[in-house]
A and B are shown apart, each in its own frame.
Chain A
Amino acid sequence: MLEIRDLVVGYGEITALHGISLDIPRGRIVTLIGANGAGKSSTLRAISGLVKARSGSIVFEGENVTRLPAHKIVGRGLAQSPEGRMVFSNLTVLENLRMGAHLRRDKAGISADLDHVFALFPRLKERLQQAAGTLSGGEQQMLAIGRALMSRPKCLLLDEPSLGIAPLLVRSIFDRIVQINQELGLTILLVEQNANLALKISHSGYVLETGRVILEGEAAILRNDPGVRAAYLGEA
């Protein structure tokens, strides 16, 4: 569904990605793990068009989207819940969700999807008129995911949904991610530092190190890989 070939991304002098290739098959959860600065967020930013690829290609459902401007990507069915959540802090929860549906005109569909988001994250429904900036970190993460879902995407890009959130809540958010994948049939590219948890819910994964893919494969295999265990699962 999403194929990335030899993607090179840089910022000024810095090269963040030295030509990575990823395959995200339809209906799967694929995880991208790696240490700080490995280039995970850069990958997602490039897919969403927030940074331009220096070279390489990003093909989504057969269409080359590498050079599309950011605001056109989401219309193709690729939505992102970005690192640090980036909710619109001075907008209400409801307005944030409406922004997720910015490109849609189907009123009935939008309100059906709102209900769907509330079913996934009932807490959001209790806080509809609250400014998003006053939500807790976990609630903001739910909002960021809900907002991305409001575009009715085919593929969801999630950047560190566990960042700065209490372990109990992380479990529940990961359960929701599985639910989104299974019930809505969404393809998911999940970026995580919490490799253990990410590999548990994913079908396959890639390990990124300083802008290069150093390992890839089925999630179960990666989880048992001694190198991965030592480097990312906190085992000696």
Chain B
Amino acid sequence: MDWGNFAQQLVNGLSLGAIYALIALGYTMVYGVLRFINFAHGDVFMIGAFAGLYINRWLKPFFTGLPEALSTAVVLLLSMGACACLGVLIEKLAYKPLRNRSRLTVLITAIGVSLFLSYSAQLIFGAAPKGFPNLFNSTTHDLPGGASATTEQFVVLGVTVLLLAALRWIVLGTRMGLAMRALSNNPAAASLMGVNTDAVISFTFALGSALAAAAGIFFAMLYQAIDPFMGILPGIKAFVAAVLGGIGSLPGAALGGVLIGLIETLVVGYSQDIGIPSGYRDAVAFVLLILILLFKPAGLLGKSEREKV
């Protein structure tokens, strides 16, 4: 066994998993408050990457002389802010008018929103992939055990940990987070407490979309090319991650994302040893989805609805 190679696969899998985790959190949070899967979420991820590209381009002249960490943070935060607004807008325009309709109606609408965003992006940005610039000087760092990691991978992992900590604080430690949890547990009781349901739902979309934007920029940083349909596969895999972790559970979504990222990377890295051609990498998530639905429909950290009552 080549441990150096294994450690390398872990590093690669973790950084991919961090991205899936950030996207998965948005699915699971929206599911928590509205009980539906926002299939347009992968497109918010894509728009986040484009926002990063253009914000960086526009602000480039102002960045001269600034430390790279600062300019990267500015690009990241502005893109997150832009996508937070986009998420709120999507909810207000597309989903809110359907608040009392059947979930299937909302689900189909979400698919419509997703297509609308992809093709609008194609119209505006063109169908050809665009190169994503280096936001900072990157080198390769040697890790103990013979593996190495790029600066991008360090940034992705480090910032993801920070974002998860911030999210944890918001959800567990603030009044808004408490209202979110109450709303997802019992909407009628929450409004009896004076919770403004619409405000909490908007906040949830803002939060989830901001995390998706960060994921989009991280993805662009690692793969250095973006296109209007880049959100489809990561979006679906992150959805599987949310189901794997237990839909509605935030720790579950984070864990699910990391697991999917790791498994996908390991399957590709060891494709010859295990006899699965690496071209099947995108099928891994779907096989997992089928297995979860068969053997543990509530997910790893989820509670089944029956237990909750």
A residues with a Cβ closer than 8 A to B are: 48-50, 69-72, 74-75, 79-80, 82, 86-91, 95, 98-100, 102-103, 133, 147-148, 151
Contact = CB atoms under 8 A, between A and B. Distances in A.
Given A99-B178, A99-B182, A102-B179, A88 B189 contact: yes
B195 A98 contact: no
B170 to A, nearest CB: 15
Interface in B172-207: 175, 178-179, 181-182, 185-186, 188-197
Given A89-B308, A99-B179, A99-B182, A50 B194 contact: no
Contacts of B190: 88, 99
Nearest to A48: B192
Which of B178, B182, B189, B193: most chain A Cβ within 10 A? B193
Contacts of A151: 193-194
A20 to B, nearest CB: 21
A74 B186 contact: no
Given A88-B182, A98-B178, A102-B179, A71 B188 contact: no
Given A74-B193, A102-B194, A133-B308, A88 B181 contact: yes
A72 B309 CA distance: 27
Contact of A87 (B179, B189, B191): B189
A144 to B, nearest CB: 9
A50 B194 CA distance: 11
A5 B223 CA distance: 67
Nearest to B199: A71
Contact of B194 (A74, A95, A133): A74
Sorted from nearest, which 5 A-B pairs have the closest CB atoms? A70-B191, A86-B189, A103-B194, A74-B194, A88-B185
Contacts of B192: 48, 50, 70, 74, 79-80, 82, 86, 148
A89 B195 contact: no
A208 B179 CA distance: 35
Contact of B195 (A50, A79, A102, A148): A102
Given A71-B194, A99-B193, A151-B194, A86 B188 contact: yes
A115 to B, nearest CB: 20
28 contacts: A71-B195, A71-B196, A72-B194, A79-B192, A80-B192, A82-B188, A82-B189, A82-B192, A86-B188, A87-B189, A88-B182, A88-B186, A89-B185, A90-B185, A90-B303, A91-B181, A91-B182, A91-B185, A95-B182, A98-B178, A99-B178, A99-B182, A99-B193, A100-B193, A102-B182, A102-B194, A103-B194, A133-B308
B191 A71 contact: yes
B303 to A, nearest CB: 8
A51 B9 CA distance: 56
Contacts of A49: 191
A86 B195 contact: no
A112 to B, nearest CB: 19
Interface string B238-264: 000000000000000000000000000
Contacts of A70: 191-192
Given A71-B197, A88-B186, A95 B191 contact: no
Contacts of A133: 308
Contacts of A98: 178
Contacts of A75: 194
Contacts of A71: 191, 194-197
A226 B267 CA distance: 79
Interface in B59-106: none
A82 B190 CA distance: 11
Given A88-B185, A89-B309, A91-B178, 8 more contacts: A71-B194, A72-B194, A95-B181, A98-B178, A99-B179, A99-B195, A102-B175, A151-B194
Contacts of B309: 89
Nearest to B308: A89
Contacts of B178: 91, 95, 98-99, 102
Nearest to A133: B308
A91 B308 CA distance: 11
A82 B178 CA distance: 20
Contacts of A88: 181-182, 185-186, 189-190
Contacts of A91: 178, 181-182, 185
A82 B308 CA distance: 18
A88 B32 CA distance: 14
Contacts of B179: 99, 102
Contacts of B197: 71
Contacts of B182: 88, 91, 95, 99, 102
A104 to B, nearest CB: 9
Contacts of B186: 86, 88-89
B193 A147 contact: yes
Contacts of A79: 192
Contacts of B191: 49-50, 69-71
